[in-house]
Chain A
């Protein structure tokens, strides 16, 4: 068993001061717990199961990412796949992700998903909880859900092209729509989402798509 500890962190900077209080509501926690298939055995031992509203702990930070993914569209009740990914990203993620487990990881990486003929699951690591601001965590859930749906990367950890329609494209699209029309968030979080989307476009595709957002 690995042991890790909370790194230096500032909830104001990561957006957890904004989103943390929002997740601290029993109906939301109950819904998210079932919808994303959390198990207490994967979130106890200090990861936050016994202190779900403590926004320094991994469980609160994961739920903040889920809150952002769920409620950032103005009309969030419309989850139709005919609309943009900001509307249906959460629906897709909770349908595709089999279970979310908290682990230490190597200290900086964010998440990993297993799918196919094996135990399907997504592990979230320290990099997810502490290196990613809230909106990036939401986009990572979309990214991992794309993997869980059976689409891996086709060039190492990168995608060969925009047309490959892989997890990086989905990541970018969610961030771009969030930055463009997302609600219940800060100007700074939208700026961060735009920069992150462009960083992905400019570094994660073997063939550059020829645009930025």
Chain B
């Protein structure tokens, strides 16, 4: 967002927030496995990571796993970007030979326009691009015995116009086979051929300089993250009688 003069001062009035139950995807034993995978997707401890690996191993043995993930994707709230991304991440980890069509459909869905209004730099469109990026990454990981994945990626390259997605497809195709560059060059318009020559940023390019200087600010330091924990105080709104 941006500063736009002095007349648009945001919402001076307070807003109100109402609770609602959150999304559940575990209805059958196999969809429970998918839910287990999602539950442990961001685990950092050994036990949690083991749970995630177990869910992946078990789902790999299920022929219908990609279909189940697709059902979960369809039933997910369209605005639940993190869940849709996570389902595709899980499916990518399965490296399931019949997952290509699910990834293909997820990647090729039309990207909805962001709603009108000026309330933020990041819109739902950015989230939708992220979901499709994961679908393309997942597609590139499907075991490609008959060059079906390559064909699917070329189909996506011809179909999708969003440059951010085209870059991901180009990177995947070149990684699969460096000789794909020639065909890609013919498909891309001239002003997008730079996508074939993108390099990996180095540390220097990823540095930014702040105008602020050490020793000038007096900001309180964060507490040690592993210090003894205390739970938050609860306030009682009742009066003693």
Contact = CB atoms under 8 A, between A and B. Distances in A.
Interface of B: 1-3, 6, 9-11, 13-20, 22-23, 25, 38-44, 76-77, 79-83, 85-87, 89, 114-115, 117-124, 126-127, 129-130, 133-134, 137, 162-164, 167-168, 171, 194, 197-201, 203, 205-214, 217, 219-223, 225, 227, 229-233, 235
Given A7-B77, A107-B115, A202-B168, 18 more contacts: A3-B17, A8-B83, A9-B82, A10-B23, A11-B22, A12-B41, A14-B83, A27-B227, A34-B220, A57-B17, A76-B222, A108-B127, A109-B115, A131-B82, A133-B82, A147-B2, A173-B206, A176-B201
B9 to A, nearest CB: 6
Contacts of B235: 50
A18 B42 CA distance: 7
Contacts of A9: 22-23, 77, 80, 82-83
A102 interface: yes
A177 B17 CA distance: 34
B19 A6 contact: yes
Nearest to A18: B42
A155 to B, nearest CB: 11
Contacts of B85: 13, 133, 192
A26 B231 contact: yes
Given A85-B208, A173-B206, A188-B86, A131 B225 contact: no
- Please classify how large the interface on chain A is, using the bins under 10, 10 to 19, 20 to 34, 35 or more: 35 or more
B211 to A, nearest CB: 8
A195 B134 contact: yes
B11 A202 contact: no
B190 to A, nearest CB: 14
A157 B126 CA distance: 12
B9 A6 contact: no
Contact of A58 (B3, B17, B80): B17
Given A27-B230, A147-B1, A185-B44, A4 B38 contact: no
A114 B119 CA distance: 11
15 contacts: A5-B20, A13-B38, A24-B232, A47-B17, A52-B232, A88-B210, A103-B11, A125-B120, A132-B81, A176-B201, A176-B206, A184-B225, A186-B44, A211-B199, A212-B201
Given A35-B219, A103-B11, A157-B121, A10 B198 contact: no
Contacts of A176: 201, 206
A1 B16 contact: yes
